[in-house]
Amino acid sequence: MCPFLVIFMLWKKIKRYFPFIGIILFIYLLIRLKIGEIFKQVLEANKLYLLIALVLVLFYLFFQTLKWHVLARKQKIPIPFQKSFKINLISNFYGLVTPGKLGTIIRAEYLKKYSNSGKGLSNFVIDKVLSLISLFFMVLLLGFIVLREKLDWFNGLTLIYGISIFFLLIAMFLFFYNKERSKSLLKVVYRKLIPQKMKEKARGTFNSFYEDLPKKRLLLEVFILNLISWLVCYIVVYFVALSLSIEIKFIYFIAIYPIATLVAQIPITISGLGTREVTLIGLFGLFGVEAVKVFSMSLIGLFIMAVFPSLIAIFFILKERKKNEIHKIEQGR
């Protein structure tokens, strides 16, 4: 048997267990740091700071929606901002329960109602790539400027490697942003791997993917909106930190959290559970912050930033399903 086929078969078997890695880490930390102590920290958190964090979440959700809504409008997808906000909440719910937030791709399905599947997919891909690039940019800029004295490995050589990866990401993105270049590279995949009965659909999706793509100068605008979105996100969590009496300068806080967010993007867990907490505990430990406080901060932050909006999203999902059921019943009459 071909060794590559053996590796592929083993990979298919192993990858299904990846999401449990982070969950196991999360449970281990929960037990190691003592559940009772964590709940004590949560219950004793300053309610005023938590209230401020809750209010700021609305601003975070606004910018999180705005960055891809601007992109959608430039793609000539006629969707009102109110609908975009609702779709954003729903996609965040699906992202919450899937590794690497892959479930947020449901947004493309909702956008199909206002255009076509290709445009919805390209909106999702462009937004996610720019989100990752902007996050990487924050890690490089703030990490090197602020944390290089605390982290021995964050030296000039690491910065060179980081910048190289950063520009490689941009180069790959711009390469595939061009339809003709993408077609020349993907035609082998199309000919060899796409079944004959799916070729027509694949061709249509590919063409609609590149339909009405915004000019490249708009990408800078979306990139900046992504940076603002991340900044507001970390301001929310900073107020959570203040509620737990975590004493650390904001500049250090905002340099640490993007690193943990980047690590949490690795699809070996659900919503970054475990991997994010391990990273945060290690980095905040350099500033003398107790592990139990860091874990509690991450737990509250997850609830305020993800779980709470998801509860609202569930309401929208159930309401929509009920509406569809009524529509089907009326059609059946």
Q: Does the pLDDT of residue 27 top 80, yes or no?
A: no
Q: List, for residues 146-173, the tens digit of each pLDDT value.
A: 877 777 666 677 778 888 989 999 999 9
CA 108 to CA 131: how far, in whole Å? 16
Q: List, for residues 128-141, the tens digit of each pLDDT value.
A: 999 999 999 999 88
Q: What is the mean pLDDT of residues 109-135?
A: 90
Q: What is the pLDDT of residue 325?
A: 63
Q: Does the pLDDT of residue 108 top 70, yes or no?
A: yes
Q: What is the pLDDT of residue 297?
A: 94
pLDDT above 70: percentage of residues in the chain: 88
